[in-house]
Amino acid sequence: MNLQEEILSNIDGRTLNYCFSCGMCTGGCPSARVTDSIYNPRKILHRAALEGRLEEDIWLCTNCYTCQERCPTKTKVADLISLMRRIYVKEKGIPGFIKPLIENLGACGFTARIGDLENKRRERMGLPSVKQNQEVRRIIEKTGGGL
């Protein structure tokens, strides 16, 4: 099965065909803004639909869902990018730069390390301390987090 077929065989994936490349998703995307549009969800969808290619930029999505809320054709942009990530992992494995984030999830339940040091810093800034997310930790412990 090629990439287009794999995407279109998924119920959310079928919405890839709704996109008419207006660019509203990219216009509201925070990742596009902070990467000077190196990250561009419209182009990612276009590339997947017309060229059948996946590249590492799909990992710059923060899953905020702004694109999906704004899309005039109800294309499930954020869900499509999550689907592309699943296909990516199946084909190529977890990219190296994601591994430290999974290790952090296993250590504290967050993608960024939160421990005594971080909580002391938070205290100095008048912020409440953050407890480890035990549920996420246990999931990573049981599944290995795909590593």
User: Of residues 3, 48, 54, 78, which one binds ligand SF4 by CB under 6 A?
Assistant: 78
Question: Is residue 41 close enough to count as binding ligand SF4 by CB under 6 A?
Answer: yes
Decide: is 30 part of the binding site for ligand SF4 (CB under 6 A).
yes
Helices (H) and strands (E) in the chain, counts: 9, 0
DSSP 8-class letter at 129: P
Structure tokens at 21: 């490349």
Binding residue for ligand SF4 (CB under 6 A) from 7, 29, 54, 114?
Answer: 29
Residue type, 54: L
CB of 140 to ligand SF4, least distance (A): 23
Max Cα-Cα span within the chain: 54
- Whether residue 44 contacts residue 117, with contact meaning beta carbons closer than 8 Å, is answered with no
Query: Does 22 contact ligand SF4 by CB under 6 A?
Result: yes
Q: Is 101 helix (H, G, I), strand (E, B) or coil?
A: helix
| CB closer to ligand SF4 out of 51 and 141 | 51
Please report how close the Cβ of residue 81 comes to ligand SF4 at its closest, in angstroms.
6
Instruction: Specify the residue, 64 or 89, whose C-beta has the smaller distance to ligand SF4.
Output: 64
Contact with ligand SF4 (CB under 6 A): which of 3, 31, 47, 88?
31
Residue 116 Cβ, how far from ligand SF4 at the closest point, in Å? 31
∠ at Cα 34 (33, 37), nearest 5°? 55
Residues 139 and 125: their CA atoms lie apart, in Å, by 31
3-state secondary structure of 10: coil
Instruction: Using the minimum distance from each CB to ligand SF4, give the nearer residue, 54 or 67.
Output: 67
Task: Point out which residues bind ligand SF4 (CB under 6 A).
Answer: 19-25, 29-31, 41-42, 45, 61-67, 71, 73, 75, 77-78, 81
